[in-house]
Chains A and B, each alone.
Chain A
Amino acid sequence: EAGVVQSPRYKIIEKKQPVAFWCNPISGHNTLYWYLQNLGQGPELLIRYENEEAVDDSQLPKDRFSAERLKGVDSTLKIQPAELGDSAVYLCASSLGTVAGGGTGELFFGEGSRLTVL
């Protein structure tokens, strides 16, 4: 079974440029997450989707960040314009529902997309 696939793995851009990250979750996983991970820190949730609905985007800086999950499968995270402080790793994860709902509970992560803003 294929894992969570993210692209690109690495991206270097100049500040004020736009950037987009793509994520393909594990087949059948209805919940998709985008996390931000700064160097040496734990992942911080940006947005969580249940199918195509964004159910938690309280930590997403909406002035420059946007995300979409059309058809409840693939997802794209966009930053426009990028700032120096956006340099980080953007992790996508998926899960099969909640434990209470009969799912397994754990998240499965992709390899991440490392963004460097110059």
Chain B
Amino acid sequence: AQSVAQPEDQVNVAEGNPLTVKCTYSVSGNPYLFWYVQYPNRGLQFLLKYITGDNLVKGSYGFEAEFNKSQTSFHLKKPSALVSDSALYFCAVRDKGGGNKLTFGTGTQLKVEL
């Protein structure tokens, strides 16, 4: 069964500093990996995805993520955090051979402070 782990319930960062939100995954085959963001009382919004190709993928709002197959990780990064980035972030994985089933992590609350 596929699964995702987000080891940090909350990440606190000062505005202007780089941020990293961690994610590790487990699938039986090659993964499709996704990051979503959720603002209060809103649905999930797609940020970026890794399907194949370059290990560093760029997404919306200046976010990027690095796929590391040997460490089975897909950490979300941003060079300079903004207060408006404060939200709940979810990593998700889909097994390439598993159809359309997307499995989410438990989420990491990002808090960016002045």
Listed in ascending order, the chain A residues whose CB lies under 8 Å from chain B are 4, 31, 33, 40-45, 48, 50, 55-56, 91, 93, 95, 97-100, 105-112, 114
Contact = CB atoms under 8 A, between A and B. Distances in A.
A97 B100 CA distance: 7
Interface of B: 4, 32, 34, 36, 41-46, 49, 51, 90, 94, 96, 99-107
A43 B104 contact: yes
B54 to A, nearest CB: 16
Contacts of B94: 105
Nearest to B4: A42
Nearest to B88: A40
A110 B99 contact: no
B100 A42 contact: no
Contact of B100 (A31, A110, A111): A31
Contacts of B41: 111, 114
B107 A111 contact: no
